Chain A
């Protein structure tokens, strides 16, 4: 009997019967929250925050991909909510048609959606931490383990997830309210069966979309340089809106995919007509989904490209460097002499050869400085003492590099790497100043010389006589030595590692500095009674973190020991690599989940179409072909667009760095292409699995 069958019990029974759709909704929310929690937990963890340099490109890249993933997840949860309510609407409409007032429906409906959305979101947030921990642990176990990789969480990360949780719950409530306030009950009942066709655009839509993507990419990438160089202003935050055409273009490309497809059906207009029509009539949802997939894939590629981009150049450089050991130090530091180092090496059964030693001095160099006119605009002004410059004489340069160079008196030459892709000293140095005696020499730029091992420390070469003049009265604090040597035998990692630690231990506290700390700028600021902008940098680096990535990459006297650099490269860069690999996994996983969910929705929504086809005598092979066509469009187009757009953007960034593509960058691009092929393989495997699952669900 049904005497005790109350509204509440009925709603519970209906919810139970509706669990298939609820599960999909739960799954979508759970995945979105888990991914965002995991991403933000790792991104904001002290582990990553300490290793990724503040204001650095890698950090910006990480944040940009996070925003992309967040947008993807937000759209995805909104889609899941809309999908859930489309199914729920017929139930709601029937109850309204049978006389249930809004007042009667509100408690049950809101209870259900609040429970579903909050439980799935909370479960997602809770799962995010073990998820990131397991993946990180996996990295440490199977790929690389370093002291830097000790994972800790900052609970601040939870705020992002909580904001998304509120968005998920809020959007579900908004949807519920939207359905309940409708006055046309028939619309509510029929909602599930109402198609969402997209506007018919002409065939120019897709090609124009591609043009917009490229134009937006170029515009967005070039706008900051235009602002800086032409308008002489710092680019405002809204400058990122120049990327908007990329998104419009993406929408148009996906719209074209859904409305027209990319094949020419002129000869056989009925070919794939069922798959094409099914897509077209669920156009809005499909287009949204395809955009999310393309964005996530682009984000994932952007992340994973970091690995070959930074790895190829560095490993190539280590292999080519002419000295096994190369380092510099300040003359006032107590560093081992040649004999002592030879003795140190002998303990490891090693002997040294090609011992090379030279001197350099550090002077104040003139340069153009940005003088702020207002909060954003500046003008360029020449300052005779702007910052540190390391000076080599012609003689010292020849001694170290083995190459003679002729620098005319009153001029200087910048030291760059072979490919001239390194950041060299300024070409606008007009004066060189001895910081002890303040003796000054007027100078001008006379070209570049090439020596990779000296390229990263702003060295310039001057005439021997000029060097002598400028060195007069200079204390050891401003003088330095450069040493390079090779090992006769097969080099030993143990020696390199011990020597590195011994080398660091030989420095006193005054050298506990990052390489971009500028002693000249500090001195000038103090003399003017101003506060030095880089004061905070003094606390950035510590000798006790000698094995951290930050120390090895940022120390002002970081040496270049080939075997150490090669062997420890993965360790030194581990947090960077693992973070970006993690982001890649997360983005790819999310994109694949969206693809899978979208295809499952197609199967659920179009079940009746396949039933009708069966009744009309369609063979299993024909129906399978239609299923494949549907999945093909969902998987293929956004994946291809996401991957190719990011590949082109990446190539553009590499070119934009120095106006050319150098050997290491060609290797990077090749490696990235390899990665894209691997991604394609994974996507294909998931596509096959999805088709199989759809086949099962549709009973083909």
Chain B
């Protein structure tokens, strides 16, 4: 599904050059729910932005569904973002001027493909995530948790190969966070969605099948979930503690 090999990315600030990703390797299988954790500055968001084709990378390769992302034209990258990737931002990134229904349908609208099937899919997604009652409301009229669930629904409207989520619970209270994570769980279980999530939140990560720990721009360790969610959260916290020492 998703293969990342020897991925390198650096930023230049003035004359100084900061190497953020120092050769990252991992893969995500179809239907897998994977989280990336790590301290601030470890390169989590940069990694996600490279995979989502939002920022160009320097070296290495990213292969999504058999398509190599490097060297693709701008037009092709836009198509990949639209059809093969669903993205969930930390701060929701809903368009204020559109209703929730319209926001969910935006990935279809940009391809001029709003048909009956899209409408039906939107309806089923909102009922799956428990936000059917806000379909005709506008972002300013709903809560943060509802906004993020709408964003998850939007990420699924094109049946993408993978959902990329950047700190999706970062701006939410615990109740809303749980609702969003459950929405991801529903997407995985009922729609066989593949989810790749960057998070700081061990609670959110404990719902995943696998957690990749990043430190200083490299993979520090990968942990697979073999136990109950609560126990897995403890394992994660121990690993994070060990990583910070």
A residues sitting closer than 8 Å to B (CB atoms) are: 1-7, 10, 13-18, 90-91, 94-104, 183-186, 189
Q: Tell whether A5 pairs with B114 under 8 Å between CB atoms, given A98-B106, A186-B54.
A: yes
Contact of A10 with B74 in the complex, beta carbons under 8 Å: no
Residues of A within 8 A of B158 (CB): 99
How many angstroms between the C-alpha atoms of A96 and B110 in the bound complex?
A: 9
A198 to chain B, nearest CB (A): 15
How many angstroms between the C-alpha atoms of A102 and B112 in the bound complex?
A: 15
Contact of B115 with A3 in the complex, beta carbons under 8 Å: yes
Q: Tell whether A7 pairs with B112 under 8 Å between CB atoms, given A2-B102, A14-B98, A97-B52.
A: yes
Residues of A within 8 A of B55 (CB): 183-186
Nearest opposing residue in chain A for B83, CB measure: A99
Residues of A within 8 A of B95 (CB): 14, 17, 91, 94-95
Which of B49, B78, B109 touches A96 (beta carbons < 8 Å)?
B78
A97 to chain B, nearest CB (A): 6
Contact of B98 with A13 in the complex, beta carbons under 8 Å: yes
Residues of A within 8 A of B78 (CB): 96, 99-102, 104
How many angstroms between the C-alpha atoms of A4 and B113 in the bound complex?
A: 10
Contact of B119 with A2 in the complex, beta carbons under 8 Å: yes
**Chain A CB within 8 A of B221 CB:** no
Which of B74, B80, B83, B97 touches A18 (beta carbons < 8 Å)?
B97
**Chain A CB within 8 A of B111 CB:** yes
**Chain A CB within 8 A of B107 CB:** yes
B100 to chain A, nearest CB (A): 11
Q: Tell whether A189 pairs with B93 under 8 Å between CB atoms, given A10-B98, A10-B106, A98-B106.
A: yes
Q: Tell whether A17 pairs with B115 under 8 Å between CB atoms, given A10-B102, A185-B55.
A: no
Residues of B within 8 A of A189 (CB): 93
Interface string of B50-75 (1 = CB under 8 A from A): 00111110000000000000000011
Q: Tell whether A98 pairs with B97 under 8 Å between CB atoms, given A5-B114, A186-B54.
A: no
B59 to chain A, nearest CB (A): 16
Contact of A104 with B56 in the complex, beta carbons under 8 Å: no
**Chain A CB within 8 A of B224 CB:** no
Contact of A2 with B93 in the complex, beta carbons under 8 Å: no
Which of A2, A91, A100, A184 touches B110 (beta carbons < 8 Å)?
A100
Extra A-B contacts (7), CB below 8 Å, given A3-B114, A95-B106: A10-B98, A14-B97, A96-B78, A97-B87, A102-B75, A104-B78, A184-B56
How many angstroms between the C-alpha atoms of A10 and B96 in the bound complex?
A: 12
Contact of B74 with A101 in the complex, beta carbons under 8 Å: yes
How many angstroms between the C-alpha atoms of A17 and B115 in the bound complex?
A: 25
**Chain A CB within 8 A of B215 CB:** no
Q: Tell whether A6 pairs with B102 under 8 Å between CB atoms, given A97-B81, A183-B56.
A: no
Interface string of B98-139 (1 = CB under 8 A from A): 100110011101111011100100000000000000000000
Interface string of B21-62 (1 = CB under 8 A from A): 000000000000000000000000000010011111000000
List the 3 closest pairs (A to B, CB-CB), nearest first: A99-B82, A17-B97, A101-B78
Q: Tell whether A7 pairs with B110 under 8 Å between CB atoms, given A16-B97, A94-B93, A99-B81.
A: yes
Residues of A within 8 A of B115 (CB): 3
Which of A2, A15, A189 is packed against the most chain B CB atoms within 10 Å?
A2
How many angstroms between the C-alpha atoms of A189 and B87 in the bound complex?
A: 13
A5 to chain B, nearest CB (A): 5
Contact of A103 with B75 in the complex, beta carbons under 8 Å: yes
How many angstroms between the C-alpha atoms of A283 and B112 in the bound complex?
A: 41
Q: Tell whether A2 pairs with B101 under 8 Å between CB atoms, given A10-B109, A99-B111.
A: yes
Contact of B97 with A13 in the complex, beta carbons under 8 Å: yes
How many angstroms between the C-alpha atoms of A186 and B164 in the bound complex?
A: 14
Which of A17, A96, A186 touches B96 (beta carbons < 8 Å)?
A17
Nearest opposing residue in chain A for B97, CB measure: A17
How many angstroms between the C-alpha atoms of A90 and B93 in the bound complex?
A: 8
Which of A5, A7, A94, A189 is packed against the most chain B CB atoms within 10 Å?
A5
How many angstroms between the C-alpha atoms of A14 and B98 in the bound complex?
A: 7
How many angstroms between the C-alpha atoms of A4 and B108 in the bound complex?
A: 12
How many angstroms between the C-alpha atoms of A98 and B79 in the bound complex?
A: 9
How many angstroms between the C-alpha atoms of A90 and B55 in the bound complex?
A: 16
Which of B49, B52, B93, B110 touches A104 (beta carbons < 8 Å)?
B110
B159 to chain A, nearest CB (A): 13
Residues of A within 8 A of B106 (CB): 10, 94-95, 98
Which of B79, B102, B105 touches A99 (beta carbons < 8 Å)?
B79
A500 to chain B, nearest CB (A): 70
Nearest opposing residue in chain A for B105, CB measure: A2
Contact of A98 with B75 in the complex, beta carbons under 8 Å: no
Residues of B within 8 A of A14 (CB): 95, 97-98
Contact of B87 with A98 in the complex, beta carbons under 8 Å: yes
Contact of A5 with B97 in the complex, beta carbons under 8 Å: no
Nearest opposing residue in chain B for A4, CB measure: B114
